[in-house]
Chains A and B, each alone.
Chain A
Amino acid sequence: ETGVTQTPRHLVMGMTNKKSLKCEQHLGHNAMYWYKQSAKKPLELMFVYNFKEQTENNSVPSRFSPECPNSSHLFLHLHTLQPEDSALYLCASSLYPGTNTEAFFGQGTRLTVV
């Protein structure tokens, strides 16, 4: 285990549903990230939080809403998603963003929008 835990591991939701993804780390890291990984596509950065403050929003549609209540927890709230949003959503953390330290990834949530 790398210390980054994501729940749920799998999620199937309808386009009218509202659900949330959770990420938790107990590594003492101060930066947390959401990435989207679609089949045969590169990792797409969605959001960056540094000390609980959002420092990057990579032109993500408003149907994705992040929340970072503290440095250890990160949520991604989902509503009215589209089938093309089906992907693996990876959470990661690092000691600080942009410094010479490793990013640790969670195992991801496999999201299917039907």
Chain B
Amino acid sequence: GENVEQHPSTLSVQEGDSAVIKCTYSDSASNYFPWYKQELGKRPQLIIDIRSNVGEKKDQRIAVTLNKTAKHFSLHITETQPEDSAVYFCAATASTGNQFYFGTGTSLTVIP
């Protein structure tokens, strides 16, 4: 099955700086890579996703990059704000599979 690894497990940045979270996957059949944000006491919610036919996707301050050859994808948050503080999960899934495989999560703290 798929194995998704996520780094770092914790990340602290100053407000206004950028944050980068990296994930690797093992199954070359994986073709959909969502990122979820989970604020304290709340449900995980999708913030951005990327499909294997695209190398990069951007939505305002958030961007995701995908390197299919190296089997890794990254989340980039620019101009971080305190409300970006949360746990972020990456995931991978294949259209031939039957589940989402999640990374172990990154706890991001943005220091005002």
Q: Could you list which residues of chain A lie within 8 angstroms of chain B, going by C-beta atoms?
A: 2, 31, 33, 41-43, 45, 48, 50, 55-56, 90, 92, 94, 97-108
Contact = CB atoms under 8 A, between A and B. Distances in A.
Interface residues of B, number: 25
Interface string B80-112: 000000000101011111111011110000000
15 contacts: A42-B104, A43-B89, A43-B105, A45-B99, A45-B102, A48-B98, A50-B98, A90-B44, A98-B93, A98-B94, A99-B95, A100-B31, A100-B32, A100-B95, A104-B46
> Majority SS of interface residues in chain B?
loop
Given A33-B99, A48-B99, A90 B32 contact: no
Given A42-B105, A99-B32, A105 B43 contact: yes
Contact of B43 (A2, A48, A56, A101): A2
B33 to A, nearest CB: 9
B98 A102 contact: no
A98 B44 contact: no
Nearest to A99: B95
A45 B89 CA distance: 14
A45 to B, nearest CB: 6
A71 to B, nearest CB: 15
Contact of A98 (B42, B51, B95): B95
Contacts of B91: 103
A4 to B, nearest CB: 8
